[in-house]
Amino acid sequence: MKNAKINFLQRVEKSLSDFSFYKVIVQESVGKAIGYLILLSFILGIISIIKPLYEINEEMKEYEENIPDVIIKNGELNINTKMPIILNSDDSVIIIDTREGINKDIINDYNTGLLITRKQILFKNGFSIQEVYSFNEIKYAEFDKEKFKNFLFIFKLILMPIYGLGTVLSVIIGKLIGSLFVSLIGLIINEIYKANLRYKAIYKIGVYSMTLSSIIKVAINQLSFEIPFFYLLLLFIYYGVIIFYMIKAITEIKKEKEVNLS
């Protein structure tokens, strides 16, 4: 099998169904394995943002249609309605709260979100909270309901790509970090089965062993479950599948080495 001719989709299919394929990838460079993981993460990241982006867009559209009286004057936003306004979707949220002394920690329960306060708009992605707009920039202008509705529409067009890019990048970085942890599991399996594989080979096996778990995780996250300890269960499934694939791949390679030595 000439591995140079194996395209990405073939790699995905073979990593799922053909344990002899792992004999091939251990002969390749680590860079090729990392490239595969980045491309897989990018595609899964794109898929993972479809549902939350759709839901946020629908909720913002509904809010635009029922927007209350809004005035921006002297660099401050005032909305004549009960606060806070919360539009949430899974681990993403848009919170509007123009009360005095609002605490930024209100957004900390979510992985990604937007907090609109009396004086500024804050964007949270992971552990980072940054100001993306200050109403003080329009201190000497006034906005009414219709102008603010147009502003929200334009801001949504800006927010969606930022949210999408941030989510996809976080998936890629998360998978790269996760691959290091998976390789440590591989070292333990390698020791238990006495396969005598080098770390580079174990790392590459680990990368491809993450394929099915990553696909399952994204697929499940697109569904809505109300099961106690669901994410803990998903964690066990995720690493359980990876360990299964690593054991099968490592033992397959060990058998071939023993046959070649005999």
User: Do residues 113 and 124 lie in contact, with contact meaning Cβ atoms separated by under 8 Å?
Assistant: yes
The arithmetic mean of pLDDT across residues 110-130, rounded, is 82
Residue-wise pLDDT for 142-151, tens only, equals: 666 677 777 7
- HEC sequence for 233-253: HHHHHHHHHHHHHHHHHHHHH
Residue-wise pLDDT for 219-231, tens only, equals: 887 776 666 677 7
Q: How many CB atoms lie within 10 A of CB 178?
A: 20
Average pLDDT, the chain: 84
Please report which helix (H) or strand (E) contains residue 167, including its range: helix 145-192
Pairing between strand 112-116 and 85-89?
unpaired
Residue-wise pLDDT for 138-189, tens only, equals: 765 666 667 777 777 777 788 788 888 888 999 999 999 999 999 999 999 9
User: Do residues 225 and 219 lie in contact, with contact meaning Cβ atoms separated by under 8 Å?
Assistant: no
